[in-house]
Chain A
Amino acid sequence: MNIHEYQAKELLAAQGIPVPMGEVATTPEEAEAIARRLGGAVVVKAQVHTGGRGKAGGVKLANTPEEAREKAQAILGLVIKDLPVEKVLIAPAEDIATEAYVGIIMDRASKAPVWMVSSAGGIDIEEVAHTNPEKITKLAVDTRYGFLPHQAYMLATKLYTDVKQQRAAAKILEQLYKAFVEAGASLAEINPLITTPSGEVKAIDAKFNIDDNELFRRPEIEALRDDASEDPAEVQAREANLTFIKLDGDVGCVVNGAGLAMATMDLVKYYGGEPANFLDIGGSSNPEKVVNALKIITSDQNVKAILFNIFGGITRTDDVANGIVTATKQIDIKVPIVIRLTGTNEEIAVKILAEAGFTAMTDMDEAVKKAVALAKGEAQ
Chain B
Amino acid sequence: MSIFIDQSTKLIVQGITGRDGSFHAKQMMEYGTQVVAGVTPGKGGQTFEGSVPIFNTVQEAMDATGANSSVIYVPPAFAADAMFEAADAGVSFIVCITEGVPVLDMTRVYPYVKEKGARLLGANCPGLLSAGKSKVGIIPGHITQPGPVGLVSKSGTLTYEVVYKLKGAGIGTTTCVGIGGDPVSGTSFIDCLAAFEADPETKAIVMLGEIGGTDEQEAAAYIKAHVTKPVVGFIAGQTAPPGRRMGHAGAIISGSAGTAEEKIQAFNDNGIAVAVRPLDVVALIQERL
Residues of A that sit less than 8 Å from B by CB: 106, 108-109, 111-113, 126, 142-144, 181, 184, 186, 211-214, 216-217, 243, 245, 247, 255-263, 265-270, 275, 278, 280, 283-284, 311-315, 342-344, 364-365
Chain B residues with CB below 8 A from A108, complex form? 183-184, 213-215, 250
Complex contact A267–B277 (CB within 8 A): yes
* A96 to B248 alpha-carbon distance, docked (Å): 41
* A312-B103 Cα distance, complex, nearest whole Å: 28
Which chain A residues border B249 with CB–CB below 8 Å?
211-213
Least Cβ–Cβ distance between B45 and chain A, in angstroms: 29
Interface centre among B77, B156, B181 (most CB of A within 10 A): B156
In the complex, residue of chain B having the shortest beta-carbon distance to the beta carbon of A278? B246
In-complex Cβ contact of B104 among A184, A245, A255, A269 (8 A): A184
Does the CB pair B20–A284 fall under 8 Å? yes
Task: A126-B255, A343-B160, A365-B279 are known; give 9 further A-B pairs, CB within 8 A.
Answer: A108-B183, A144-B112, A213-B101, A214-B102, A268-B239, A269-B238, A311-B160, A312-B140, A313-B160
Query: Do A184 and B102 have beta carbons less than 8 Å apart?
Result: yes
Task: Flag B139-173 by CB within 8 Å of A: 1 or 0 each.
Answer: 11001000000000111111111001000000000
Least CB separation from A127: chain B residue: B255
Give every chain B residue within 8 A of A113 (Cβ-Cβ): 104, 107
Partner among B100, B110, B154 whose Cβ is within 8 Å of the Cβ of A213: B100
Would A111 and B104 count as touching, CB distance under 8 A?
A: no
Contact with A along B171-193 (1 / 0, CB 8 A): 00000000001011000000000
Kindly supply a per-residue 1/0 record for chain B positions 79-99, scoring 1 wherever the CB is within 8 Å of any chain A CB and 0 otherwise. Answer: 000000000000000000001
The CA-CA distance from A312 to B156 in the complex, in Å, is 10
Q: Is B197 an interface residue (CB 8 A)?
A: no
Let me know if B241 is at the binding interface, CB within 8 A. Answer: yes
Establish whether residues A142 and B99, one from each chain, have CB atoms under 8 Å apart when the complex forms: no
By size class, the interface of chain B is 35 or more
Instruction: Give, as a whole number of angstroms, the nearest-CB distance from A115 to chain B.
Output: 14
28 residue pairs of the A-B complex, CB under 8 angstroms, read A108-B184, A109-B213, A111-B106, A112-B184, A113-B107, A142-B111, A144-B111, A186-B183, A243-B246, A257-B158, A259-B157, A260-B160, A261-B246, A262-B240, A263-B155, A266-B237, A266-B239, A266-B277, A267-B278, A283-B99, A283-B138, A311-B160, A312-B140, A343-B160, A344-B140, A364-B279, A365-B277, A365-B279
For residue B80, give the distance in angstroms from its CB to the closest CB of chain A.
11
Residues of chain B contacted by A257 (CB below 8 angstroms): 155-158, 247
Name B residues whose Cβ lies closer than 8 Å to a Cβ of A.
Answer: 20, 23-24, 76-77, 99-104, 106-108, 110-112, 126, 138-140, 143, 153-161, 164, 181, 183-184, 208, 210-211, 213-215, 218, 234, 236-241, 244-251, 255, 276-279
Please report the C-alpha to C-alpha distance between residue A109 and residue B153 in the assembled complex, in whole angstroms: 18
Instruction: Say whether A260 contacts B184, CB under 8 Å.
Output: no
Q: In the bound complex, do residue A245 and residue B157 qualify as a contact, i.e. CB atoms below 8 Å apart? A: no
CA distance A204 to B157 in the complex (A): 45
Q: Which residue of A lies closest to B23 (CB)?
A: A314
Q: Which residues of A contact B183 (CB under 8 A)?
A: 106, 108, 186
- Which chain B residues lie closer than 8 Å to A213 at the CB level? 76, 100-103, 249
Give 10 closest A-B pairs by Cβ, nearest first.
A259-B155, A258-B247, A257-B157, A259-B158, A262-B236, A260-B157, A262-B237, A263-B236, A143-B107, A280-B247
Q: Which residues on A sit within 8 Å (CB–CB) of B110? A: 111
Write out the residue numbers on chain B whose beta carbons fall within 8 Å of the beta carbon of A269: 238-239
- Which chain A positions have C-beta within 8 A of B155? 257-260, 263
Q: Contact between A245 and B100 (Cβ–Cβ < 8 Å)?
A: no
Residue in contact with B139 in the complex, picked from A243, A258, A275, A313, CB distance below 8 Å: A313
A364 / chain B contacts, CB cutoff of 8 Å: 161, 278-279
Q: How far is the CA of A184 from the CA of B126 in the complex (A)?
A: 25
Provide the bound-state CA to CA distance between A257 and B103, in Å. Answer: 20
CB-nearest residue of chain B to A258: B247
Chain B residue contacts of A311, Cβ below 8 A: 157, 160-161, 164
Q: Which residues of B contact A313 (CB under 8 A)?
A: 126, 138-140, 156-157, 160
Tell me the bound Cα distance from A105 to B249 in angstroms: 14
Instruction: A67 to B103: give the CA distance in the assembly, Å.
Output: 45
CB-contact partner of A256 in B157, B214, B236, under 8 A: B157
Contact status B139-A111, CB under 8 Å: no
**A106-B184, A259-B181, A311-B160 given as contacts; is B277 within 8 A of A216 (CB)?**
no
Chain A residues positioned under 8 Å from B102 (CB to CB): 184, 211, 213-214, 217
CA distance A320 to B170 in the complex (A): 29
State the CA gap A245–B243 with chains docked (Å): 11
Q: Are B241 and A106 in contact, with the CB atoms below 8 A? A: no
Question: What is the bound-complex CA distance between A342 and B237, given in angstroms?
Answer: 22
List the A residue with the shortest CB-CB distance to B183. A108
A259 near B138 with CB under 8 A, answer no
Of all chain A residues, the one with the shortest Cβ separation from B254 is: A126
Contact A259 B210 (CB under 8 A): yes
Q: A181-B104, A245-B246, A275-B239 are in contact. Are A270 and B276 (CB under 8 A)?
A: yes
Looking at the complex, which one of A112, A262, A267 makes contact with B211 (CB distance below 8 Å)? Answer: A262
Please give me the residue from chain B that is nearest to A144 by CB atom.
Answer: B108
Q: How far is the CA of A368 from the CA of B23 in the complex (A)?
A: 32
Min distance, Cβ A307 to any Cβ of chain B, angstroms:
14
Question: B181 and A258: CB pair below 8 A?
Answer: yes
Q: Which residue of A lies closest to B165 (CB)?
A: A364
B244 touches A245 (CB 8 A): yes
Closest A-chain residue to B236, C-beta based? A262
